[in-house]
Amino acid sequence: MQKKFIPFSIVIIFLTLSLCACTGPSNDQKTSDHKQPVSKKQFDSDGFTIAYCDTSQLETWRIQMLAEFEQAAGELKTEGIIDEYYVTNANGDPAKQINDINNMIQKGVDGIILCATSPTAIQSAVDDAMNAGIKVVNLNSLVKSNNVTSKIYQSDIAFGQICADFIVNKLNGKGNILVLNGIAGSEISNERWIGAENVFKEYPDIHILSTAYADWSYDKGYQATLDLLNENAEIDGVWSQGGAMTQGAIDAFQEKELPLVPMSGEASNGFLRTWIECQKSTSFDSICPNYTATISVTALNTLIDALKGKEVSQEIELPIDTITSENIYDYYRSDLNDNFWCDTQLSDANLKKLYQRDEE
């Protein structure tokens, strides 16, 4: 970094502060109620140091979301915009995530991308980061407070509504339904169910036979469905908020040699493969709201804009594309394995490295 004479620096700082004082926020953007300090590196030639603090890396979707981030961050590092980045994994533990954030504060990072383990339990650490002048972009799993630089999300309530509307339409507003939710206490799972319940309440002839928290996993989705079928329950539809859980439900029906019923799913390549295979011999149908793993790239770009002193919206809601039987082949990748999620900015080289399908 080049040295500057002190008098010249003083003039520059004075002029900059004067201009900032005369500039107000845009009327067409959501802004926070607090003023955020400008990054200390805004005028430096050095790149920014940032952190990606995730709630967990248990689901294949989160693993791909991190991969999308790391590819984009690597490109920015090559360009000199980023000097260094850290990745932390809280393993679903708010106490661990608080410690992760505090460690990033101690390291003096310029910005944090955060997937929250809890909407409230980690807020004190987030506040500490903001008070230290660190930009915090919160994505996917959100904190309740607006004391962050920006929140980026897709509507989980809309996700649940899309799946419920499909089930109701397929059953003509009448039938018995199994509900497969995600992780108990998860804000994402809760809001998806809120969206679905809002739809089902409008149809008194839709009956919820059983609700299971299947943790977005194949095994628990399979077992919850099999347990209900073993009770000789007549299931007319399965409202599921995760593709792996739906794959488990399909296998449970097939094990009992029962006709498949309408089931909602999610946009994993594995579920799309199962859906296509079922279509070859049955009238099975489904729907998949596409919860994009590229949200991490949007968060990264938003953080860099904020660090450069640009105004960013406090809330950014990304649209949800919907996969149906009409457009399924636009998303499905026969050359990639089941862990791939069907919306990506990953290069072909990275896709093959991470998701190359084994020869059968």
Residue 162: predicted pLDDT: 98
Instruction: Give the least confident one: 6-20, 43-57, 76-90, 186-200.
Output: 6-20
Residue 186: predicted pLDDT: 84
Alpha helix segments (H runs only) across 145-257: 156-170, 187-200, 218-230, 243-255
Cα-atom radius of gyration of the chain, to the nearest Å?
A: 23
For residue 206, give the 3-state DSSP assignment. Answer: strand
- What DSSP designation does 212 have? E
Cβ-contact 193, 214 below 8 angstroms: no
> How does residue 187 score in pLDDT terms, banded at 50, 70 and 90?
confident
Alpha helix segments (H runs only) across the chain: 6-21, 60-78, 94-107, 123-131, 156-170, 187-200, 218-230, 243-255, 269-279, 295-307, 348-355
Q: Is residue 357 scored above 60 in pLDDT?
A: yes
Cβ-contact 181, 212 below 8 angstroms: yes
Q: Is residue 38 scored above 70 in pLDDT?
A: no
Mean pLDDT of 248-255: 97
Q: Is residue 146 scored above 80 in pLDDT?
A: yes
Residue 359: predicted pLDDT: 67
Q: What is the number of other CB atoms lying within 10 angstroms of the CB of residue 350?
A: 16
Instruction: Give the least confident one: 75-84, 178-187, 297-306, 343-352.
Output: 178-187
Residue 27: predicted pLDDT: 32
Q: Any idea how long the chain is?
A: 360
Q: How far apart are CA 70 and CA 76, in angstroms?
A: 10
Q: Is residue 139 scored above 80 in pLDDT?
A: yes
Q: Is residue 20 scored above 80 in pLDDT?
A: no
For residue 67, give the 3-state DSSP assignment. Answer: helix
Q: Tell me what percent of the residues of the chain surpass a pLDDT of 70.
A: 87
What phi and psi values does residue 33 have, to the nearest 5 degrees? -85, -5
Cβ-contact 225, 248 below 8 angstroms: yes
Q: Is residue 30 scored above 60 in pLDDT?
A: no
Residue 45: predicted pLDDT: 54
CA distances from 290 to 99, 115, 328 (A): 32, 18, 11
Mean pLDDT of 132-141: 97
Residue 8: predicted pLDDT: 35
Contacts with 27 (C-beta within 8 Å, 6 or more apart), sequence order: none
Q: Is residue 40 scored above 90 in pLDDT?
A: no
Q: What is the number of other CB atoms lying within 10 angstroms of the CB of residue 58?
A: 15
> What sign results for the dihedral spanned by CA atoms 325, 331, 334, 336?
negative
What is the pTM assigned to this prediction? 0.83
- Angle, in degrees to the nearest 10, between helices 218-230 and 243-255: 40
Sheet of 82-89, strands arranged across:
82-89, 48-54, 111-114, 135-139, 150-153, 315-317
| Mean pLDDT taken over the chain | 89
Q: Which of 145, 106, 102, 141 is nearest to 123 (CA)?
A: 145
Instruction: Give the least confident one: 5-9, 34-38, 266-270.
Output: 5-9
Cβ-contact 200, 206 below 8 angstroms: yes
CA distances from 251 to 221, 222, 245, 254 (A): 10, 7, 10, 5
> How does residue 360 score in pLDDT terms, banded at 50, 70 and 90?
low
Q: What is the pLDDT of residues 314-343, one digit of tens each?
A: 999 999 999 999 999 999 999 999 999 999
For residue 99, give the 3-state DSSP assignment. Answer: helix
Q: Is residue 12 scored above 70 in pLDDT?
A: no
Q: What is the pLDDT of residues 147-170, one digit of tens each?
A: 999 999 999 999 999 999 999 999
Mean pLDDT of 131-153: 97
Cβ-contact 259, 252 below 8 angstroms: no
Residue 358: predicted pLDDT: 83
The domains located in the chain, with CATH, are: 32-154+293-319 (3.40.50.2300), 156-290 (3.40.50.2300)
